[in-house]
Amino acid sequence: MCPAKIAEGETRGYVIPIGGAEEKIQNPVILKKFVELCGGEKARIVIIPTASQLDDTGATYEELFRALGVGNAVSLPIEGRDDALNEVNIAELEKATGIFMTGGNQLRLSTILGGTPIAQAIRRLNSAGVHVAGTSAGAAIMPEHMIAGGSADTLPNENGVTLAPGLGLINKVILDQHFSERNRWGRLMSAIAYNPFASALGIDEDTAVFIAPNNILEVVGSGSVLVIDPAGLQYSSMAEAGSGSALTMLGLKVHMLSSGSSYDTASREAFKP
């Protein structure tokens, strides 16, 4: 699924995957930058807490965004597919200058939102300039191909990752979150072996990539982002590998980026801070 087409005269909004556990109180640099992009005190941020099964997740983010000066922050109670068809929820979303998807379970998020008017509106609004951020599960669902599961602490292998369709807000990258903290190197490498078209991003906690309309992403936060560029891939054993077999992949390029560094997902060039 490709990102929605941009109408003539429009500019796509930022897409902002966050690796989870973003700082919310002491130095919330990621949330502050998102708020500034969305208009500061004039912003209207709509929160989608669907991935979480905690009753207070939406209300918590409403309070956080208001504390950061947002004039209007509202959480949509989307707990099932009926809610994602509700015209009141769709109308609320249409008023947003920023959309924020919380953490939780990305399969819960995709099975409830997938193919619904809410999902279609998120894609359409982003193509019209509305910025979309998501943390943890809310980040996982952003690409065309979503990492839905896979074991940590394992080498890359033929069955090291489970993929599912994502929202398709971005199709030049595939990503994983909580990357260093949960040792997800193996499953991200397995994912890139399945799909060497896209660059792979491993995003640490309290770290985000702000992907601009020109396809250049900037790293913001206290951790790192691992970038795997498969453009020079010379050989992959994925097609011949047996179940659980270790993989051979030759010609990959790897970058490690910290705050202020950037990467062009189109040209695959990395830039220092």
Could you count the other beta carbons within 10 Å of the beta carbon of residue 173? 23
Give me the catalytic one of 75, 178, 199, 224: 178
Give me the catalytic one of 190, 205, 224, 261: 205
Q: Which amino acid is at 180?
A: S
- Contact 208/30 with Cβ under 8 angstroms? yes
Q: Is residue 255 annotated as part of the catalytic site, yes or no?
A: no
* Phi then psi dihedrals of residue 246, to 5 deg: -65, 155
Give me the catalytic one of 136, 199, 224, 261: 136
Q: What is the number of H-type helices and E-type strands within the chain?
A: 8, 17
Residues 6+ apart with CB under 8 A from 51: 101, 102, 103, 104, 105, 106, 108, 109, 136, 137, 138, 141
Instruction: To the nearest 10°, report the CA torsion of 49, 53, 59, 60.
Output: -90
Q: In a 3-state reduction of DSSP, which class is residue 199?
A: strand
- Contact 187/218 with Cβ under 8 angstroms? no
Q: Is residue 259 annotated as part of the catalytic site, yes or no?
A: no
* Phi then psi dihedrals of residue 133, to 5 deg: -115, 155
| Backbone φ/ψ region at 101: left (φ over 0), alpha (ψ -120 to 50), beta | beta
Q: Is residue 131 annotated as part of the catalytic site, yes or no?
A: no
Q: Which sequence positions are flagged as catalytic?
A: 136, 178, 205
